[in-house]
Amino acid sequence: MSPTKLAASYYCRGVRGAITVEANTADAILSATRELLEAMVDANEIELDDIGSVFFSTTADLNAEFPAVAARQLGWIDAPILCSHEMAVPHSLPMVLRVLIMWNTPRSAREIKHVYLRDAWQLRPDRANTLSQ
């Protein structure tokens, strides 16, 4: 860790994101995952070395590929990553990929920018922002 980081108080913060996926294909899942992760990194200026862990979930209709594969393709080699399915709630939005990044940062919880892309903005309209649509 750099001397600058040692001097600052760091906290483990959760950064949430979600995106709808166009089709249950490996290419569509990987493309959507890369788009979401890149938007989250850009919005929060996340450095890969500061990521503690990553948890992906997908709705049950997305099972053609692990989202973790896209993260590894982006160079997320050292971060522990886990994938799972969301609860199958009857009225839930279909074809959704979600992610929770546990990130070591000096930022406050209010400074974190959560990212909801494509139709996933519907999951958290209170968090809708310019990245959402």
Tell me, yes or no, whether 46 lies in a domain: yes
Domain that holds residue 8: 3-127
Average pLDDT over the chain reads 92
Tell me, yes or no, whether 69 lies in a domain: yes
If one compares 28 and 8, the residue with the highest pLDDT of the two is: 28
Tell me, yes or no, whether 133 lies in a domain: no
Tell me, yes or no, whether 86 lies in a domain: yes
Total-model pTM: 0.89
How many domains would you assign to the chain?
Answer: 1
- CATH code, domain with 17: 3.30.1330.40
**Is-contact 51 102, C-beta < 8 A?**
yes
pLDDT tens string 35-85: 999 999 999 999 999 999 999 999 999 999 999 999 999 999 999 999 999
Tell me, yes or no, whether 132 lies in a domain: no
